[in-house]
Chain A
Amino acid sequence: MEKNKVIITVLGKDTVGIIAKVCTYLAENEINILDISQTIVSGYFNMMMIADLSSSAKEFSVISSDLEEVGKELGVSVKCQREEIFERMHRI
């Protein structure tokens, strides 16, 4: 379902295992990754994922808080936002 698409962004200093850790959490919670892209700008890691929450048993707010925690453990900032804000802003 369209409404269950979220954008997960990870921002911070590049270290080993960032994607692995985030993806493990997503896999454990039945969250499907639809798209993933990343760049590293002067040592800073910048990743964006589009994910689908439809099959997950957890609520958006729980997932969002959990991901924030995962970020804290890694020393990076992880943000989970519903996709509509980007759709609305950048598409007519």
Chain B
Amino acid sequence: MITNWEVIETNHMIEKENLDVRTITIGISLLDCIDSDLDKLNEKIYNKITTVAKDLVKTGQEIEKDYCIPIVNKRISVTPIALVGSAACKSPEDFVTIAETLDRAAHTVGVNFIGGYSALVSKGMTPAEENLIRSIPQALATTELVCSSVNVGSTKTGINMDAVRLIGEMIKETAELTKENDSLGCAKFVVFCNAPDDNPFMAGAFHGVTEADAVINVGVSGPGVVKTALEKVRGESFEVLCETIKKTAFKVTRVGQLVAKEASKKLGIPFGIIDLSLAPTPAVGDSVADILCEIGLEYAGAPGTTAALALLNDQVKKGGIMASSYVGGLSGAFIPVSEDQGMIDAVVAGALTLEKLEAMTCVCSVGLDMIAIPGDTKATTISGIIADEMAIGMINQKTTAVRVIPVIGKGVGEVVEFGGLLGYAPIMPVNSFSCDDFINRKGRIPAPVHSFKN
């Protein structure tokens, strides 16, 4: 029988420590919508999304009520649109019509975001994929809820440097087209190496081609819960520290698993995976950086940060894996800057630099995330940042990503406000030495030697 103490603990986590389910994401395959007629394609896409996901928001709200746990986001991910649109779209403008359809469908069903305006080009680009990438600035500027991602590298294929170069330009163009809103368009775009097929988190969610027709993926959260648990073991040994993180991650993940199963049952859509990520929000007490401080750092970014983050990431996985048999997605600690008050404070204090963040991405779950950089940063420099991050992912056989926002008209020291879950960020300085000749080389970086495992 459940004890009073256990009930109090759970409710305290929810009410005081920001325990929530970050997202229920339905992955929807659009492969059966493919048509060479663009109008028909758009119609089929709209109909399929609004049919499969019609009860998502209502179901999410029911589950919130059943357990009194907030489910912050309800989202949709779809098959990479470069594949779905390849038969019908002959130009970037054609692809933009699909983005508009996705946006309309997302508004109709009431979700927060729809992801999958994506292309997977880790080895090469088809003409359709190139058109989709070229359409990204326009697509993100004319839609509200559409998120876009491109996978430009993997451990198995190496890095497609032609795509990396092109994306540097597209990020700049997106920033220009959305400059009235502090270049917000860039916050809805992420470039990946080793992108997972089942990630429920935005902006990088898409429904991989290896997936079933529809699937429920759930992202849990709870940095505040981990932080509070660690407050009780200050000064204790690493063993105690690790045990505490693991136990907490277990509890948090079990809640996610419960919500995923319930959503799956109510919607009649199979359950896919739980993503164990510690995902911060700008709310005070919901910060991954604060956990690092609790582990013993003055600020995130101080010497020892990478080790502390490595430990945290690993323990979260170890605890979570015991709690759910189907763990996937990104699963680890996210370290976005603008979405985490502790990270923002660290940047403002001068403790955290872009270079240290890059080191941290070697051991965290994803990569350089929600980082505002000066608007006059060159496209090749952005491509250089992407290439570095992709190389880390390729060599370490992990997912890495870049989501940077060159804020047009603003420079280092100024602050940019994105609003809501996207938060705000001080603009960080970027190394201004040139990498033009490196980025302007054609072709791809070959796969590393340790990828040859057959």
Is chain B a partner of chain A in the same complex?
A: yes
Measuring CB to CB, which residues of chain A are less than 8 angstroms from any residue of chain B? 7, 9, 35, 37-39, 46, 48, 50, 60-61, 64, 79-90
Quick check: B62 and A83 within 8 Å, CB to CB?
Answer: no
Does chain A have a CB within 8 A of B1?
Answer: yes
A37 to B6, CA, bound (A): 12
Quick check: B6 and A90 within 8 Å, CB to CB?
Answer: yes
Quick check: A60 and B254 within 8 Å, CB to CB?
Answer: no
Question: Which residues of B1-45 are within 8 A (CB) of A?
Answer: 1-4, 6-11
Does chain A have a CB within 8 A of B251?
Answer: yes
Quick check: A88 and B66 within 8 Å, CB to CB?
Answer: no
A35 to B8, CA, bound (A): 16
Does chain A have a CB within 8 A of B90?
Answer: no
Quick check: B11 and A9 within 8 Å, CB to CB?
Answer: yes
Quick check: B258 and A86 within 8 Å, CB to CB?
Answer: no
Quick check: A85 and B4 within 8 Å, CB to CB?
Answer: no
Q: Could you write out 12 A-B pairs with CB less than 8 Å apart?
A: A35-B1, A37-B3, A46-B4, A48-B7, A84-B67, A85-B10, A85-B68, A86-B6, A87-B2, A89-B251, A90-B6, A90-B251
Closest to A83 in B: B2
Does chain A have a CB within 8 A of B128?
Answer: no
Measuring CB to CB, which residues of chain B are less than 8 angstroms from any residue of chain A? 1-4, 6-11, 62, 65-69, 251, 254-255, 257-258
Quick check: A81 and B67 within 8 Å, CB to CB?
Answer: yes
Known contacts A60-B66, A82-B67: A39-B4 contact under CB 8 Å: yes
Known contacts A81-B68, A85-B67, A85-B69: A48-B4 contact under CB 8 Å: yes
A90 to B7, CA, bound (A): 9
User: Which residues on A sit within 8 Å (CB–CB) of B258?
Assistant: 84-85, 88
CB within 8 A of A79: which of B3, B4, B11, B62? B11
User: Which residues on A sit within 8 Å (CB–CB) of B69?
Assistant: 85
Q: Smallest distance from the beta carbon of B251 to chain A beta carbons, Å?
A: 5
A38 to B67, CA, bound (A): 21
CB within 8 A of B2: which of A7, A64, A79? A7
Known pairs A89-B251, A90-B9 / 10 extra A-B pairs, C-beta < 8 Å: A9-B8, A9-B11, A60-B66, A82-B66, A82-B67, A85-B67, A85-B258, A86-B2, A88-B257, A90-B251
Q: Smallest distance from the beta carbon of A37 to chain B beta carbons, Å?
A: 5
Closest to B252 in A: A89
Q: Smallest distance from the beta carbon of B65 to chain A beta carbons, Å?
A: 6
Interface hub of A39, A60, A86 (most chain B Cβ within 10 A): A86
CB within 8 A of B7: which of A9, A64, A82, A84? A9
Closest to A64 in B: B65
CB within 8 A of A50: which of B2, B65, B67, B255? B2
CB within 8 A of B68: which of A46, A79, A89, A90? A79
A34 to B65, CA, bound (A): 22
Quick check: A90 and B65 within 8 Å, CB to CB?
Answer: no
A46 to B7, CA, bound (A): 11
User: Which residues on A sit within 8 Å (CB–CB) of B8?
Assistant: 9, 46, 48
Interface hub of B2, B68, B251, B255 (most chain A Cβ within 10 A): B2
Q: Smallest distance from the beta carbon of A55 to chain B beta carbons, Å?
A: 19
User: Which residues on B sit within 8 Å (CB–CB) of A61?
Assistant: 62, 65
Quick check: A89 and B65 within 8 Å, CB to CB?
Answer: no
Known contacts A7-B7, A9-B11, A50-B1: A89-B66 contact under CB 8 Å: no
User: Which residues on A sit within 8 Å (CB–CB) of B251?
Assistant: 89-90
A84 to B10, CA, bound (A): 12
Q: Smallest distance from the beta carbon of A12 to chain B beta carbons, Å?
A: 13
Closest to B2 in A: A86
User: Which residues on A sit within 8 Å (CB–CB) of B257?
Assistant: 88
Q: Smallest distance from the beta carbon of B33 to chain A beta carbons, Å?
A: 35
User: Which residues on A sit within 8 Å (CB–CB) of B10?
Assistant: 85-86, 89-90
Known contacts A79-B68, A81-B66: A88-B2 contact under CB 8 Å: no
Q: Smallest distance from the beta carbon of B4 to chain A beta carbons, Å?
A: 5
A35 to B432, CA, bound (A): 67
Q: Smallest distance from the beta carbon of B353 to chain A beta carbons, Å?
A: 38
